């Protein structure tokens, strides 16, 4: 397998796409950003904002409708690898991206996983949600089986921890208000990958194409629990910013989420994701129990402390 130099990224302005693209550029890859046509001229993708904040330093920005395999194929010509980090709204297009990458002679396609992979300990409702995402992964796997020149990798990140702590106070930490909700005893451990770790994971995959071919790699920056994070938030906060702590039960969160699911109202996915994270004794959200069981060393992802993660979550407030 030859080395990878030229990389196309889909979703480069997104929550994870931006740090991944910046990390690839920083690592010395020649990066092309592929984006939807501006102004909603595409027939099969919804309108995109007229301005996108792409990381600086990409070699070029190319527009292509995500449903147009011929256009995508010409956009990907000459690239060694392609990475899909499109948002959940674009999930229906992932198969076209795989088809175009193979047709263009791309040797590695990083599928749009960036989640929990095929987590066998997920709640059944979450398995159902995940199944939609598996269609493109299975498609990439089938392509690779039929054509050895085409390979794929998925990146399992678990909880995107610094981003999620900032984005979802429901995870138990309202960093703007300095309030915390501790679920049950606060001792259930889970693994997470920071935005830095997510960017490094993709860099690591493309630097090690042979070791990462045709499988999902396990990323992690930290294994932690709510009590450790609360301690870290307290340590990283200034003296006048006291944290107010209340307690809730995972069982109530889970029941509420399932009621919303049955009633067809929104918000249940987040409720179940958080219940799954903190339900005690089942390690439902541990991607790799020990660092050695993960691919962190191969990929060059450093282990971060709870205080570092808390400082990152607080830094944007």
Ligand X SMILES: NC(=O)c1ccc[n+]([C@@H]2O[C@H](COP(=O)([O-])OP(=O)(O)OC[C@H]3O[C@@H](n4cnc5c(N)ncnc54)[C@H](OP(=O)(O)O)[C@@H]3O)[C@@H](O)[C@H]2O)c1
For ligand X, the binding residues (CB under 6 A) are 11, 13-17, 35-36, 45-46, 48, 52, 66, 85-90, 112, 114-115, 157, 160
Alpha-helix runs per DSSP H in 147-210: 161-167, 195-207
144 CB-near residues (< 8 Å, 6+ apart)? 150, 151, 152, 214
Residue 59 CB, shortest distance to ligand X, in Å, is: 16
DSSP 301: P
Instruction: Tell me whether residue 14 or residue 172 sits nearer to ligand X (CB atom).
Output: 14
Sign (positive or negative) of CA dihedral 291, 292, 293, 297: positive
Residue 240 CB, shortest distance to ligand X, in Å, is: 32
Residue 172 CB, shortest distance to ligand X, in Å, is: 15
User: How many residues does this entry show for the chain?
Assistant: 317
Instruction: Tell me whether residue 85 or residue 313 sits nearer to ligand X (CB atom).
Output: 85
Instruction: Tell me whether residue 97 or residue 254 sits nearer to ligand X (CB atom).
Output: 97
Put residue 91 in one of left, alpha, beta given phi > 0 → left and psi -120 to 50 → alpha.
Answer: alpha
Residue 149 CB, shortest distance to ligand X, in Å, is: 26
Cα gap 259→268, rounded to integer Å: 8
Instruction: Tell me whether residue 22 or residue 178 sits nearer to ligand X (CB atom).
Output: 22
Contact 271, 257 (CB under 8 A): yes
Residue 45 CB, shortest distance to ligand X, in Å, is: 4
Both tokens assigned to 44: 């099969």
Distance from the Cα of residue 269 to its chain's centroid: 16
Cα gap 21→32, rounded to integer Å: 9
Instruction: Tell me whether residue 76 or residue 157 sits nearer to ligand X (CB atom).
Output: 157
Instruction: Tell me whether residue 11 or residue 204 sits nearer to ligand X (CB atom).
Output: 11
Residue 148 CB, shortest distance to ligand X, in Å, is: 27
DSSP 186: S
Instruction: Tell me whether residue 46 or residue 281 sits nearer to ligand X (CB atom).
Output: 46
Q: Please choose, from the candidates 84, 21, 83, 85, the residue with its C-alpha nearest in 3D space to the C-alpha of residue 56.
A: 21
Residue 5 CB, shortest distance to ligand X, in Å, is: 23
DSSP class per residue in 81-133:
EEEE---GGGGGGHHHHHHHHHHTT-SEEE-S--S--S-TTS-HHHHHHHHHH
Question: Is residue 251 helix, strand or coil?
Answer: helix
Residue 112 CB, shortest distance to ligand X, in Å, is: 4
């Amino acid at each position: 397998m030859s080395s990878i130099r030229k990389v196309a990224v889909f979703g480069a302005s997104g929550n994870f796409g931006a740090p991944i693209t910046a990390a690839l550029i920083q690592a010395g890859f020649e990066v092309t950003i592929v984006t939807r046509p501006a102004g909603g001229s595409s027939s099969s993708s919804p309108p995109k904002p007229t301005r996108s904040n792409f990381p600086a330093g990409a070699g070029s920005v190319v527009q292509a409708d995500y449903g147009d395999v011929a256009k995508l194929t010409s956009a990907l010509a000459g690239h060694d690898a392609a990475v899909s980090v499109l948002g959940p709204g674009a999930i229906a297009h992932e198969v076209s991206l795989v088809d175009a990458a193979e047709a263009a002679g791309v040797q590695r396609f990083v599928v749009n996983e960036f989640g929990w992979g095929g987590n066998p300990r997920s709640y059944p409702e979450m398995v159902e949600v995940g199944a939609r995402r598996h269609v493109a992964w299975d498609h990439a796997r089938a392509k690779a089986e039929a054509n050895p020149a085409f390979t794929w990798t998925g990146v399992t990140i678990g909880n995107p921890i610094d981003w999620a702590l900032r984005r979802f106070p429901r995870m138990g930490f309202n960093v703007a208000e300095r309030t915390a909700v501790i679920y049950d005893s606060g001792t259930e451990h889970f693994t997470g990958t920071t935005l830095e770790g997510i960017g490094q994971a993709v860099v690591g995959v493309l630097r090690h194409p042979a070791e990462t071919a045709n499988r999902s790699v396990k990323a992690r920056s930290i294994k932690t629990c709510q009590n450790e994070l609360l301690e870290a938030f307290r340590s990283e906060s200034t003296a006048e910013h006291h944290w107010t702590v209340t307690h809730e039960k995972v069982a109530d969160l889970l029941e509420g989420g399932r009621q919303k699911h049955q009633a067809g109202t929104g918000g249940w996915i987040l409720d179940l994701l958080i219940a799954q994270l903190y339900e005690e004794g089942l390690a439902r959200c541990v991607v790799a129990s020990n660092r050695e069981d993960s691919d962190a060393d191969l990929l060059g992802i450093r282990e971060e402390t709870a205080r570092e993660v808390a400082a990152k979550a607080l830094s944007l407030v």
